[in-house]
């Protein structure tokens, strides 16, 4: 993690793809077919991606759910949705029972 000033910089004349700020130097040669971000936006990106445990990524598509009409093999609760397609020859458990089984 060296923040020296001897890092090679490329002189460019671009604008940040996010905030539009003028970019005059980049630590890498821009390829031209990729958006370029200013150092501020780059830092923001890194911070939002570094978390991981956040409140559910906004860019992540919702997990596909299958509508089913089953009962939990453990507690008998009605199951109307599953994150996978039930094969039919395996017992299906509700979320609570699934968690209990995983913990136990």
Residues 43-82, mask of contacts with Zn ion (x by CB under 5 A) = -----------------------------x-xx-x-----
Among 23, 36, 38, 92, binds Zn ion (CB under 5 A): 38
Stretch that binds Zn ion, among 7-15, 22-30, 35-43, 55-63 (CB under 5 A): 35-43
Listed in sequence order, the residues at least 6 apart from 8 whose beta carbon sits closer than 8 Å to its beta carbon are: 27
Task: Tell whether residue 94 is a contact of Zn ion (CB under 5 A).
Answer: yes
**Binding positions for Zn ion, rule: CB under 5 A:** 16, 18-19, 21, 38, 41, 72, 74-75, 77, 94, 97
């Amino acid at each position: 993690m060296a923040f020296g000033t001897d890092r090679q910089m490329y002189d460019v004349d671009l604008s940040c793809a996010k905030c539009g700020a003028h970019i005059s130097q980049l630590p890498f040669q821009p390829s031209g077919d990729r958006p370029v971000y200013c150092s501020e936006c780059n830092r923001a990106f890194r911070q939002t991606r570094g978390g991981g445990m956040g409140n559910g990524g906004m860019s992540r598509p919702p997990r596909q759910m299958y509508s089913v009409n089953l009962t939990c093999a453990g507690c008998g609760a009605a199951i109307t949705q599953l994150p996978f397609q039930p094969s039919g020859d395996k017992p299906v458990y509700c979320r609570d029972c699934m968690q209990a089984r995983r913990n136990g």
